[in-house]
Chain A
C-alpha cells in the first residue's frame, strides 16, 4: 500500500537523521519533491532536507519554460549573500552560522565568502546577542540575527520588542533600528513541545514590527531581501521542513535585484467556490487540499499571505467577495491566534456581508506538541482537515 511504503521511506530516512552526511535517498528532480509531499501527508523529517543538500550536484540545471529549480535553503542563502555583497553594513550573527555553515546549512559558504567579521558565531546566549544586534542596529549597522529556532528567541523576546520594536516610537522618530531576526518557526517533525511553537501571532501583535512568513523559494528570496532592506525591525519566520523543498523559479527570481514587497499576498491557485488563506508550510497543505477538492468539482482559491504584519486583508476581502466562503489555516495555537485575527478582520470589513457561511479556522491543536508521530499529526493541520473545513463552509457532508 502506498502509505506503508511511505512510512517505510520515512523510517529509512529517520535512521540517517543523526548523520550530517548521508547517502541521498534519490536524486533530486524539480517536481519530484513536491509530488512526494502531495502524495504523502505525513510530516517529513527535516533531516531529509540536509541529505538532499549533499546531492545538489545531481540536480537538473534547467527545466522547460526557462525555469530553474531552487530550494528554499538556497534561496535564503542567495538572499543573504546578495545583500551582504550589496551593503557592507549587513552582517549575519547567530549560533553556528559561521564555521558550522549554519545549523540548517542556510548560511553555507558565507563565512568563506565574507570572512569572520561579517559572519559571526555567537555563544549560546540569546538575550545577549539579540540585545547586541539591536545595539549594532541602533548604531547604524544592519544585522541579520539568526535564531536556531524561534523557540529560543523567547529568551530574547524582551530585546526584540522592548529594545527593538518600540524604540523608534519612544524616541519620537529619532532612533531607527534596522535589524532582521530570522530562523525556523513552528513545528519541525518529532522535536516535541519546546521546539515546535509557532510565534506568528505573538510577533504579529506588536506595533513597530514587521512579520514576514514565506512559503516558496521565490518568497524566501524576495522577502528576505526585502526584510533586510526594510529599515524597521523585521521578524522573518522560516520553516525547517520547507528548507529542502525545491521550487521552479524564473530567471527574474535568480537576479540580485529580485525583491518582493512586504505586505502583498499571492494567489497560488485561483478558484471560485471557497477561499483557503494561509502562510508558510500550510500553503502547501492548502494546495494539496485544493487538488483533492477539485476532483469533487469544488474550486478552491488558495491565498499565500506571505506576511503576517502587515497582513494583506484587502486580498482576502477581494477573494471572499468572489467565493463567499473562507477557511484560514495556520499551525499556531488557536487561542488569540492567526485564525482569530482573520475572523476579526473579515467581520470588520465589507467581506462580512459576502459570507455565506461562518469563517472556518484550521489551527494547531491546543496542546504542547506531543512527541509520538501519531499524536503529532493530530496537533497540526493536514490536507484532510482543511478539506473538511472547506466542505463545512459549503454545507456539504464531510
Chain B
C-alpha cells in the first residue's frame, strides 16, 4: 500500500545514478519529474518530461508536462508487456515451425502503446508490416492475431492475410509494400477532412520507407489540402540490413517534411511517446494540416524472422540498447521508484499477463485452419453478392461459379 501522499521523486542525473539507485543498471539520458503521487488510482498527477526527449523542427512544443494517473501508467505497462509477450510467443511459434514468417516489434512497444493512449477509437492508424503491436492496441485480441499468424480460420483475417494484413476497427493494417501505406494514410485523413470529422490519422512508416517518393507525394497533398494526418517515422536505425546512414542523405526524419513542421521523440520512452502523440493529434485536428514525426526507437530482433539481425550490427549494440533503453524496463523502473506500484504487485502483473498470453496462444494453436475448400478459397475476392460469375481454378474443372 502506498502511504505517502505528497512525494517528489527525482531521478538522479546520469553520473550519480548508479549510486542513487544501485538496482537500476540502465542509464537514461532523460529524467522525468513527478508532481506528486496521489493515493487514488484515477487521480491525475503531472509528469514533467525532460526536454532531451524531444526535438522540434519549425515548431514549438508548448509543454513537457504529461497528465496521467496511476491506473493509466499501470495500463500502459500492461499493454507493453502484453505486446512483448505476444511477440515473444510468436517468435517461439516460428522456431517451432508453426508460423511461416513475419516481422517482430520487440523493443518498439512504446510507440504503439504511447500512440493508442493518446488517441481515441475514432482516430485512424495505418502502418506497414511490423504491425502486431498496433493491431493489439487497436482492439484485435492476442488470440486472433496469433491465429492469423498461424494461418487459422479464427485469425483476424480468417487466415487469408497473414502477419502483414491484420486489421482492426480504424486500423488499416498491416501493409506489405514499403511506403505504399503512406499515401493510403493521407487518404484516410482526406476522408475525415471531407466528412468534417475532428479525428486524426497516424500514417506510420520506417526509416527505410522514409526515402520513398510516394511519401513525399503524400506530404505535398496533405500540406496543400491541410489534411489531419500525422506522418510518423518509426526510425529503428535499420531498413532491413541497411543502416539509416547508408540509405538516407538526411537521417533527421522529422525534418524530411521540409515545409511541414516536425517533432522527434524518444521512442523508447512511452510517456514521451504519449505526450508527443497527444500533441500531434491536437495539432492536426485544429486546422494546422499535417505533422511529421519521428519516433526514435530500436528493434532487438532482425528485420524478419529469417534475418538473424547480427550481420549488419554488433551484438554489443543490441545488448547496450536492451540494457539501457528498454521501454518496458524503463517504465517499470519509473513505476517502482515513483511509488505507483510495488515490486510484488508488478511481479503479479507480469505473471498474470504471461498466463493470459499463454492461454491465448493455446487457444490460437487449437483453432483450425481454414477449410481447404473452393468456397473458402474464392470467397472475398469480390464483395459478397457482387462477384463476377466465374473465377478460374487451377484447371477449368476447378472453376468456381457464384450462384446468384
Interface residues of A in 113-170 (CB under 8 A from B): 117, 120, 122-123, 125, 127-141, 158-159, 162-163, 167-170
The interface residues of chain B lying within 8 Å CB-to-CB of A175 are 167, 172-173
A130 CB to closest chain B CB (Å) equals: 7
Q: Is B232 an interface residue (CB 8 A)?
A: no
Q: Is A41 an interface residue (CB 8 A)?
A: no
Contact B388 A132 (CB under 8 A): no
The interface residues of chain A lying within 8 Å CB-to-CB of B183 are 127-132, 134-135, 159
Contact of A132 with B187 at beta-carbon distance under 8 Å, contacts A170-B165, A310-B390 already known: yes
A-B contact pairs, 15 of them (CB 8 A): A125-B214, A125-B220, A128-B220, A130-B183, A136-B187, A159-B180, A167-B165, A168-B380, A172-B155, A172-B159, A172-B160, A173-B380, A175-B173, A263-B388, A309-B388
Q: How far is the CA of A141 from the CA of B189 in the complex (A)?
A: 11
The interface residues of chain A lying within 8 Å CB-to-CB of B220 are 123, 125, 128
Contact B188 A136 (CB under 8 A): yes
Closest to A233 in B: B382
Q: How far is the CA of A135 from the CA of B218 in the complex (A)?
A: 11
Contact B184 A159 (CB under 8 A): yes
Contact A91 B160 (CB under 8 A): no
Contact B217 A128 (CB under 8 A): yes
The interface residues of chain B lying within 8 Å CB-to-CB of A134 are 183-184, 187
Closest to A120 in B: B225
Q: Which of B190-198, B263-271, B355-363 lies at the interface?
A: B190-198
Interface residues of B in 365-404 (CB under 8 A from A): 379-384, 386, 388-391, 396
B333 CB to closest chain A CB (Å) equals: 39
Contact B389 A263 (CB under 8 A): yes
Residue among A139, A158, A169 with most chain B CB within 10 A:
A139
Q: How far is the CA of A289 from the CA of B192 in the complex (A)?
A: 52
Q: Is B221 an interface residue (CB 8 A)?
A: yes
The interface residues of chain B lying within 8 Å CB-to-CB of A125 are 214, 217, 220-221
Q: How far is the CA of A168 from the CA of B183 in the complex (A)?
A: 18
Given contacts A135-B189, A139-B188, 11 further A-B contacts (CB under 8 A): A123-B220, A128-B183, A135-B183, A136-B187, A162-B176, A163-B184, A167-B165, A170-B162, A171-B161, A208-B381, A210-B382
The interface residues of chain B lying within 8 Å CB-to-CB of A159 are 180, 183-184
Contact B188 A176 (CB under 8 A): no
The interface residues of chain B lying within 8 Å CB-to-CB of A230 are 386
The interface residues of chain B lying within 8 Å CB-to-CB of A127 are 183, 213-214, 217
Q: Is B19 an interface residue (CB 8 A)?
A: no
| 0 or 1 for each of B204-218: is its CB under 8 Å from A? (1 = yes) | 000000000110011
| 0 or 1 for each of B103-128: is its CB under 8 Å from A? (1 = yes) | 00000000000000000000010100
The interface residues of chain B lying within 8 Å CB-to-CB of A138 are 172, 184, 187-188
Residue among A129, A130, A140 with most chain B CB within 10 A:
A129
Contact of A348 with B213 at beta-carbon distance under 8 Å, contacts A91-B194, A128-B221 already known: no
A273 CB to closest chain B CB (Å) equals: 28
Contact B191 A135 (CB under 8 A): yes
Across the interface, A117 reaches (CB within 8 A) one of B187, B194, B221, namely: B194
Q: Is A31 an interface residue (CB 8 A)?
A: no
The interface residues of chain B lying within 8 Å CB-to-CB of A91 are 194
Contact B160 A136 (CB under 8 A): no
Q: How far is the CA of A141 from the CA of B184 in the complex (A)?
A: 13
Contact of A210 with B157 at beta-carbon distance under 8 Å, contacts A135-B188, A163-B184 already known: no
Contact of A170 with B187 at beta-carbon distance under 8 Å, contacts A123-B217, A207-B381 already known: no
Q: How far is the CA of A135 from the CA of B184 in the complex (A)?
A: 4
Q: How far is the CA of A108 from the CA of B184 in the complex (A)?
A: 28
B30 CB to closest chain A CB (Å) equals: 35
Q: Is A323 an interface residue (CB 8 A)?
A: no
The interface residues of chain B lying within 8 Å CB-to-CB of A299 are none
B residues engaging A (CB < 8 A)?
124, 126, 155-162, 165, 167, 172-173, 175-177, 180-192, 194-195, 213-214, 217-218, 220-221, 224-225, 379-384, 386, 388-391, 396
Across the interface, B218 reaches (CB within 8 A) one of A131, A168, A169, A348, namely: A131
The interface residues of chain A lying within 8 Å CB-to-CB of B173 are 167, 171, 175
Contact A170 B157 (CB under 8 A): yes
Contact A231 B186 (CB under 8 A): no
Residue among A173, A208, A313 with most chain B CB within 10 A:
A173
Q: How far is the CA of A175 from the CA of B165 in the complex (A)?
A: 11
Across the interface, A136 reaches (CB within 8 A) one of B159, B167, B190, namely: B190
Contact B172 A135 (CB under 8 A): yes
Residue among A122, A174, A230 with most chain B CB within 10 A:
A174
Q: How far is the CA of A125 from the CA of B383 in the complex (A)?
A: 29
Q: How far is the CA of A134 from the CA of B172 in the complex (A)?
A: 11
Q: Is A239 an interface residue (CB 8 A)?
A: no
Residue among A120, A127, A232 with most chain B CB within 10 A:
A127
Contact of A163 with B177 at beta-carbon distance under 8 Å, contacts A127-B214, A138-B188 already known: yes
Residue among B126, B159, B160, B185 with most chain A CB within 10 A:
B160
Q: How far is the CA of A120 from the CA of B184 in the complex (A)?
A: 17
The interface residues of chain A lying within 8 Å CB-to-CB of B186 are 128, 131-132, 135
The interface residues of chain A lying within 8 Å CB-to-CB of B224 are 123
Q: How far is the CA of A127 from the CA of B354 in the complex (A)?
A: 44
The interface residues of chain B lying within 8 Å CB-to-CB of A207 are 381, 391
Q: How far is the CA of A134 from the CA of B396 in the complex (A)?
A: 33
Contact B218 A232 (CB under 8 A): no
The interface residues of chain B lying within 8 Å CB-to-CB of A139 are 124, 187-188, 190-192
Closest to B168 in A: A174
Q: How far is the CA of A161 from the CA of B162 in the complex (A)?
A: 18
Q: How far is the CA of A167 from the CA of B383 in the complex (A)?
A: 11
Across the interface, A172 reaches (CB within 8 A) one of B157, B191, B386, namely: B157
The interface residues of chain B lying within 8 Å CB-to-CB of A120 are 225
Q: How far is the CA of A208 from the CA of B380 in the complex (A)?
A: 8
Closest to A123 in B: B220
Contact of A141 with B221 at beta-carbon distance under 8 Å, contacts A175-B172, A207-B391, A310-B389 already known: no
Interface residues of A in 302-333 (CB under 8 A from B): 309-310, 313
B249 CB to closest chain A CB (Å) equals: 21
Contact A231 B386 (CB under 8 A): yes
The interface residues of chain A lying within 8 Å CB-to-CB of B180 are 131, 158-159, 162-163
Q: How far is the CA of A167 from the CA of B172 in the complex (A)?
A: 10
Contact A169 B381 (CB under 8 A): yes
Contact of A231 with B383 at beta-carbon distance under 8 Å, contacts A135-B190, A138-B188 already known: yes
Q: How far is the CA of A151 from the CA of B126 in the complex (A)?
A: 29
A153 CB to closest chain B CB (Å) equals: 14
Across the interface, A171 reaches (CB within 8 A) one of B160, B182, B386, B389, namely: B160
The interface residues of chain A lying within 8 Å CB-to-CB of B384 are 173
The interface residues of chain B lying within 8 Å CB-to-CB of A162 are 176-177, 180
Closest to B182 in A: A131
| 0 or 1 for each of A215-237: is its CB under 8 Å from B? (1 = yes) | 00000000000000011100000
Closest to A311 in B: B388
Contact A133 B187 (CB under 8 A): yes
A349 CB to closest chain B CB (Å) equals: 8
Q: How far is the CA of A310 from the CA of B382 in the complex (A)?
A: 12
